[in-house]
Chains A and B, each alone.
Chain A
Amino acid sequence: MATNCRTAVSPFAYSVPPTGLVLLTGTQTLCKMFKAAVNSSLCPVVKDLRVFAPRCLSLSAGLCARAPRPKPRDVPQIAGLERVSYAARMHYVPGLAKPELPPWERGWKDPRQYRSPKPEQMELYKEKPCYIYNQRTNPLEGVRQALWLTKAKLVEGLPAQILSLAEDPANQIEDQDVRVQNAIRHARFWDTTERRPSRERFCPSLLHNLLHLCGGLQATHPGLARRMLADKYSLAASWSRGEDLFQVRGQNGLLLNCMSPLPALAGQEEIQSTADHVLETFYPISPTIDLQCTHVYEQKNSIGFREDYPYPHAHTLYLMEAGNTPPLYPEQLRAKMIMFAFGNALARARVLYGNESKVLEKPIVVQSVATNGRLFQFVVFQLNTTELESDSGVKNLAWVDADQPLYDFAKIRPLIKKKVVRVPAGLSGYQPDTFKKFLALYLHGAA
């Protein structure tokens, strides 16, 4: 019937047929319309598929495996000469313009569907960008970049006071080696019913076991009781170097807090001698590479705790590299340690002395220990000055002891090559010096 043919063919025919054509008989109309539809360039599905027509209205965009079309040109808006749109018709009509519809508002707040405003419209937007070092930063140049950012001089090895603490027999735990090896075996073998605990499991387990061992010395060292371990605290410290603003932000790891500050490790002569040291630059790479550059920021300086916290001084920061989000090489891990130790020290300095830049009479010392379950990195950072804008003047000091293995192998199955056991199963290659240094850093300030 003529009526049916009209509605049936409407998806394909884009022109309203003139009245004269419609008065033909039904089948003839149907054939003509279908042929017109088929022969038109707007219906490539029926035609040879190897020819890609520019418009493919019968196939949706998701089915075509082509790059998206370039956007059409901007039509100039002339008042009084706007194009007629199909808004009033309420459906698409070929030949009429797409109407300018207002952006749809939900009307109520759906927490799962939230579009954040553009950075320029946010309240904390500033013209000058800020480079933020957060816990996920993976700096390309590693320790050199951290030293430039913190205006610090690198000293290999731990300072003499801490090394003497390590060697002192009065500071040892009884059966120290046996107990440490048992702690390692617990973390690496005995912690789960699975054959092999994952790194995310044994790394924090080992660290907590070692801290528990060190905490057992409270009987002989009463100063150890005036400390507190805190996890998941957020640090914020901001400073400027040259023309750029920098910030250290984020939840980094376990922090051991103390009631009294650590004594300064380097004397005044050593501090003044750092003024001659020239900071190492790495042209052509800029020191701000890999830092998060943002225009929406707040220059915050906060130690992560309230002012009336009974343990205000940061003593040691324990970082764990358990292979998750994102994995860091030892070089980058040491850079992270330096940056966050500096951040803690700077936040403390801002609390004590305000935002003014000056050389500190009483330098602030913060220690840091990082581990990936086997290798330990020790960093002691001494903040001598908050004058960080220029590259000259007194520098801060960073003692770095890198890649100290606590043990060589902790294998579930022995390594056998050519029927000879090369590495036995269980714990092997235990190094007692590493735990002595760990203990020395723990006891520093209380022994």
Chain B
Amino acid sequence: MALSSLCSALRALTVSSISTRTATSQVFNGSVLNTALLSVWPVNCSLPLSRGFLTTATLGQNRTLWKQTDKYTIRPIGVKKTGGRDFTGKIRRRGIGGGHKQRYRMIDFQRLRHELGKEGQEIVEKVVEVRYDPCRSADIALVAGGNRKRWIIATENMQTGDLIKTSSAIGRMAVLANEGDAHPLGALPVGTLINNLELYPGKGAQYIRAAGTCGILLRKVNGTAIVQLPSKHQVQVLETCMATVGKVSNVDHNKRIIGKAGRNRWLGIRPSSGQWKRKGGWAGRKIRPLPPMKSFVNLPSISAKA
């Protein structure tokens, strides 16, 4: 097909048909072929319209094509390791490489995802299985509700057979928060431990997903809620953002002992360089004041009101 369009395009440049065209810009006194090339540039409707043809081709590397899928599935997907290399092939992050093969299970971070035709209702799901996930420090849970199954980040005391609830209602009274349930921040009582926090409503959980972490809901201030993250930073988000109640599973993750260099290599961590610089400044405890509270709420500015 590319060949036929190439032929039809070049057929337009035959010597016999040059005389029928008028060249508007005769810049160079070149050969006949140059004249033919230039004279194609003005619009000539007698040529057959055909799709342009590519003279290049892609290399067909499946570097990130394994994760370009729109359809959600609970089946684990084979992962291609990058080794810390970027698209140019050079190392961009040192110390990554090797390690056990991993399969990626697509986690649904947006808890409030309704099935088709059931928007607006409360979602009740049953925990089918809680298992280890090689791609993250937390455990994951397979939950099933209605006609669909999905993977979510498991909370601390989640067992097989539990029922978990996801609702988007914000009432005047705060909801009795059961561990594993997901509610908007406006519906939770102040002081609850939360995880899988959304920053923007509907975007999906982006914060507090690691093993054993939990945030604290500090205050609720007219339409927004202030949450303290595990790093003690404080963050202000809209009260319609969803969060799950409880601590993330695998609480003793930070107490594990690697034990040997080989275990680090199994995790895909290559050895660091070991060069010690006295003035590096990275080691040691840092004591400094908290940064100001970050607000993810677009409040109207003072200048806009004036």
Contact = CB atoms under 8 A, between A and B. Distances in A.
Contacts of A71: none
Contact of A88 (B27, B49, B59): B49
B283 to A, nearest CB: 27
B126 A289 contact: no
Interface in A366-380: none
Contacts of B58: 60-63
28 contacts: A3-B28, A6-B28, A19-B27, A60-B57, A60-B59, A62-B58, A62-B59, A63-B58, A65-B61, A65-B64, A65-B82, A66-B64, A66-B87, A68-B68, A86-B52, A90-B40, A90-B50, A91-B52, A92-B52, A101-B49, A104-B1, A104-B51, A140-B128, A283-B124, A284-B144, A284-B163, A285-B126, A285-B145
Nearest to B60: A62
A62 B56 CA distance: 11
B146 interface: yes
B34 interface: yes
B47 A90 contact: yes
Contact of B86 (A65, A86, A101): A65
Nearest to B45: A88
B149 A89 contact: no
Contact of A140 (B43, B56, B149): B149
Interface residues of A, number: 34
Interface string B50-77: 1110001111110110001000000000
A218 B242 CA distance: 70
A140 B205 CA distance: 27
A289 B144 contact: yes
Nearest to A45: B88
Interface in A67-113: 67-68, 86-92, 99, 101, 104
A289 B146 CA distance: 7
Contact of A3 (B34, B45, B56, B61): B34
A138 to B, nearest CB: 11
Contacts of B147: 286, 288-289, 293
Contacts of A89: 40-41, 43
Contacts of A86: 52
A289 B87 CA distance: 41
If over half of A's interface residues share one DSSP class (helix, strand or loop), that class is named, otherwise mixed; here it is loop
Interface of A: 2-3, 6, 19, 22, 49, 60-68, 86-92, 99, 101, 104, 140, 282-286, 288-289, 293
Interface in B116-130: 124-126, 128
B126 A284 contact: yes
A49 B63 CA distance: 18
Contacts of A286: 146-147
B55 to A, nearest CB: 10
Given A285-B145, A286-B147, 17 more contacts: A3-B28, A3-B34, A19-B25, A61-B58, A62-B59, A63-B61, A86-B52, A88-B44, A90-B52, A104-B51, A140-B144, A140-B149, A284-B125, A286-B146, A289-B144, A289-B147, A289-B148
Contact of A65 (B9, B63, B128): B63
B30 interface: yes
Contacts of A285: 126, 144-146
If over half of B's interface residues share one DSSP class (helix, strand or loop), that class is named, otherwise mixed; here it is loop
A101 B48 CA distance: 12
Given A90-B47, A104-B51, A284-B146, A67 B68 contact: yes
A97 to B, nearest CB: 13
A289 B149 contact: yes
A22 B29 CA distance: 13
A89 B51 CA distance: 10
A285 B88 CA distance: 47
A49 B88 contact: yes
B64 A67 contact: yes
Interface in B132-177: 144-149, 163
Contacts of B86: 65
A88 B43 contact: yes
Shortest Cβ-Cβ A-B pairs, 10 listed: A62-B58, A65-B87, A284-B124, A60-B58, A65-B63, A284-B145, A88-B43, A3-B28, A286-B146, A286-B147
A104 B4 CA distance: 13
A288 B43 CA distance: 61
A62 B64 CA distance: 9
A88 B61 contact: no
